[in-house]
Structure 1
Amino acid sequence: MEPSKALQWVQQLVDPFLPLIIAIVFVVAVLTTMHYLLLRKQSHLSSEQKLPRQVSMLVLTIIGAVIIAMSLPVSESTRNQVIALIGVLISGVIAFSSTTIVGNLMAGIVLRVNRPFKVGDFVKVDGYSGRVAEMGLLDTEIQTESRELIAFSNTLMVNSPVTVTRASGAIVSVDVSLGYDIHHSVIEKYLLQAADNANLTEPFVQVIGLGDFSVSYRVSGLLLEVKSLLSARSRLHKAVLDSLHNADIEIVSPGFINQRPQPDGLKMMAKSPVENSEKVNSNGHSENSDDSKMPSPEDVIFDKAEHAEQHENNKALLVQEIAEIDVQISESSGEQKDKLKQRKANLELQLSTLVEQNNANPSE
């Protein structure tokens, strides 16, 4: 075969596939470039920040598949059938996975748009309470008061009522039953004193029930530092015991005497080793007690949630500082501009290291 004829034969063989080859090269080049710009180059981004970029990559991939299908060297009817097959496959994936992966993914998007809570918040859902330790694309992880980690699907978080403790403060309450022989104004005085000793603000007392043998009271107060919620509840219980017992008020209903007969005049209450209840400091510990040497329960129970919240806060501060330096760089020149660029590079290195450390220990 002559060289010219051979070249013509090769050209005739390649020409029908030339649009397909060009389309494949173009789509691969675009997807590779976008992946580098959206994901790989932005490895310091959190999962919440990566979500819209990942969705964009998915849409671009689908568009690329359609472009390649339109470039196939087949008849127009066959080409339309291939495109329709791609649509059917995508619809099938969404239809069969709507209650699992896709459903959780859509719910994850809803949680990030509405933002009913964030990492570190106290929440209660489906009978479980704790602090949010992680918000993933498919599930949300909560660290309970027993230090366990429970993963809830995002569909459950969207479809179930979620109680969120406000960051501006939480109401801490204690219920106590006392006899009818003491006037409620006297009880209110000592319960308010207990709330004050427990370092709560704006305390108030309610009568919540009139039983057969006792009156039920509830003392409440506002806790501004919600991270110490567990400690505050314990402090309020202790303060109520000390305040009432020091006032010679017995915390027991008359029915208790009927069940366990006691000598006349015996009162079932513990005597405080001091005359007055000790005032707690701002950290929630007694100022003159060995309790100040003990670690806070929240430090042990919610360690991962606390670490996750601190990580998110540190990352947000670094991102904000980098954005501010970008503005300064655009407005400066010369040596000052070079110093700002060096400062930006150092902050980006810190941000990348922070993300890598968090990704290296996701379950600690």
Structure 2
Amino acid sequence: MDILGSFSSTIIAVLGTILLVVIIHFVFRKTVESSKRWPYQRQFLVFLIVLVGLFMSIAFLPIHNEVKNQILSILGILLSAIIALSSTTLVSNAMAGLMLRVTGEFRGGDFIEVGTLVGRVTDLAIFHTEIQLINRDVVSLPNLYLVQQSVHVTRRDGTFINLAVSIGYTVSRVEVEEALLEASKKCGLTDGFVFIETFLDHAISYRLYGLLKESGERLSKLSELHKTVLDVFCERGIEIASPALNDRRELGKDSLYLPKVSSKNEKPNKETITAEKVAFDKADEAQSIEDLKQQLEKATKKLEGATKTAKEKLEKQIKVLEEEITKREEKKSEEA
């Protein structure tokens, strides 16, 4: 009994630490917003509690003060050495990961550009971020790199895609603008407009902008826009001198650089699969999980002030969403 009495403070400190960890785990598990949006804060908080509990347990040990001080000093030195040695890599990337999560600049499924890399986000981990490129390959970037670099994020609710062409001075500006806007409409783009960027030695540089509402189709739509511009300009007899036209030819002054008109019209294939569906399959799955989490968050907020009948429907909806999210995340982990 004397031994238990002498160790009672240490036992209480250990049990208190375990109890706090269990409570935090339970609270974050039940609170949807905390568990889904702030997973790393929970881990960091548990780590701090365990660390404080360890120091308190040692401080309450029924041993000589000098021995306690030596043990605490050794632990402090070890902890300082770990932080110092890993500060440039592990800790830096972890802090950068927390920063990216807190700022929420991009999430799973978003289209981003970092340096020369263009792709969609498939996973945001605490130490790295995974991006799927157009060739379906996956690139893992350290979070510290993303924090230090300029990241271009394509908006989900729509983005303007653009292309530049150079047209000779002999062609009317009005004609060029009409042709470019026609190509924009044929591609299904809205709110199109044309900028005259600069006067070159051989031509005028025009840039066409069009709003694409489905940002996930950005690459295929940009390619389609280039094709349509070529077709429209050929139909209208407008010669493209982009990026520079440098040629010697013995032709009449009315001759134009135009391809021969094909007798066969290109027929659209209804079964054609867009490049993004094949290239960004993993990113699409990450985006669908993020969308489900947003639906879950909205349903949970509505649950607070809902009526009894509405609460029952919302509770069923929340349960279905939670099951679907868990199922998809488990599948994603298995494939990884």
TM-score normalised by the chain length of structure 2: 0.85
Structure-2 residue corresponding to 1:176: 165
Structure-1 residue corresponding to 2:10: 20
- Residue 132 (structure 1) aligned with residue 110 (structure 2): no
Structure-2 residue corresponding to 1:158: 147
Alignment equivalent of 2:203, drawn from 211, 214, 217: 214
1:290 aligned counterpart, secondary structure: coil
Alignment equivalent of 1:202, drawn from 183, 191, 198: 191
Asked if 1 retains the 8 angstrom alpha-carbon contact of 2:29 and 2:35, the reply is: no
Taking only aligned residues, the RMSD between alpha carbons, in angstroms, comes to: 3.2
| Cα distance in 2 for residues equivalent to 1:361 and 1:44 | 21
- Structure 1: segments with no counterpart, 5+ residues: 1-10, 276-287
Cα distance, 1:168 vs structure 2: 3.5
Asked if 1 retains the 8 angstrom alpha-carbon contact of 2:191 and 2:211, the reply is: yes
Alignment equivalent of 1:241, drawn from 216, 230, 235: 230
User: For 1:175-324, what aligned pairs fall within 5 Å after superposition?
Assistant: 175-252=164-241, 255-258=245-248, 261=249, 265=255, 267-271=257-261, 289-324=267-302
Structure-2 residue corresponding to 1:123: 112
- Structure 2: segments with no counterpart, 5+ residues: none
Asked if 2 retains the 8 angstrom alpha-carbon contact of 1:141 and 1:150, the reply is: yes
1:293 aligned counterpart, secondary structure: coil
1:151 aligned counterpart, secondary structure: strand
2:94 aligned counterpart, secondary structure: helix
Cα distance, 1:128 vs structure 2: 0.5
1:120 aligned counterpart, secondary structure: coil
Asked if 2 retains the 8 angstrom alpha-carbon contact of 1:201 and 1:221, the reply is: yes
| Cα distance in 2 for residues equivalent to 1:266 and 1:40 | 69
Asked if 1 retains the 8 angstrom alpha-carbon contact of 2:97 and 2:127, the reply is: yes
- Residue 84 (structure 1) aligned with residue 73 (structure 2): yes
Structure-2 residue corresponding to 1:358: 329
Which digits, 9 at most, give the CA deviation of each residue in 1:303-324, with x for residues without a partner? 1111111111113313432453
TM-score normalised by the chain length of structure 1: 0.79
Structure-1 residue corresponding to 2:23: 34
Asked if 1 retains the 8 angstrom alpha-carbon contact of 2:237 and 2:258, the reply is: no
Report the CA distance shift for 1:49/1:359 in structure 2 as closer, same or farther (over 3 A): farther
Alignment equivalent of 2:97, drawn from 88, 99, 108: 108
Which digits, 9 at most, give the CA deviation of each residue in 1:232-253, with x for residues without a partner? 2122112211111111222247
User: Which structure has the bigger radius of gyration?
Assistant: 1
